[in-house]
Amino acid sequence: MKQHINKIVLLAAIIMIPAMSFSQYCNYFHTKYCMPSENELFKLNGQSKSALFSKGQTSELQIIVYKKQDYRISLCMDENLGSQIKFKIYETKKVKVEKVIETISMEDEMATCGTCSGTGESDGEECYDCEGAGERATGNEKEVITKETKIVIEKQKQLLYDNSEDGFSNEIEFTVETTRRLILEISVPGGGGGSSTKGRKGKLMKSSDMGCVGILVEHMTTPISGFYGSGF
Measured distance CA(230)–CA(232) in Å, rounded: 7
pLDDT value at 120 more than 70: no
Strand ranges (DSSP E) for 33-187?
43-44, 49-54, 58-65, 69-77, 86-112, 120-123, 126-129, 135-162, 171-176, 180-187
CA atoms 167, 168, 171, 173: torsion sign: positive
User: What is the per-residue pLDDT for 175?
Assistant: 96
Q: Which of 123-127, 213-217, 223-227 has the highest mean pLDDT?
A: 213-217
Measured distance CA(133)–CA(112) in Å, rounded: 7
Q: What are phi and psi of 191, to 5 degrees?
A: -165, 165
Sketch the domain layout of the chain as residue ranges.
2-85+170-221, 99-149
HSE, CB side, 13 Å, CA atoms: give it for residue 63.
21
**Binning pLDDT at 50, 70 and 90, where does residue 198 land?**
very low
Segments in the chain forming alpha helices (H): 2-26, 29-33
Mean pLDDT confidence for 188-193: 70
The pLDDT tens digits of the residues spanning 56-66 come to 999 999 999 99
| Paired sense of beta strands 86-112 and 135-162, if any | antiparallel
- DSSP-based three-state secondary structure for 200: helix
The pLDDT tens digits of the residues spanning 68-97 come to 999 999 999 999 898 789 999 999 888 888
Q: What are phi and psi of 193, to 5 degrees?
A: -125, 165
User: What is the per-residue pLDDT for 190?
Assistant: 82
The pLDDT tens digits of the residues spanning 146-176 come to 888 888 888 888 999 999 999 999 999 999 9
CB within 8 Å of 174: residues ≥ 6 apart: 70, 71
Mean pLDDT confidence for 186-212: 62
Of residues 112 and 124, more confidently modeled: 112
> CB atoms < 10 A from the CB of 217, how many?
21
User: What is the per-residue pLDDT for 109?
Assistant: 78
- DSSP-based three-state secondary structure for 211: strand
Measured distance CA(47)–CA(62) in Å, rounded: 9
User: What is the per-residue pLDDT for 231?
Assistant: 43
- DSSP-based three-state secondary structure for 9: helix
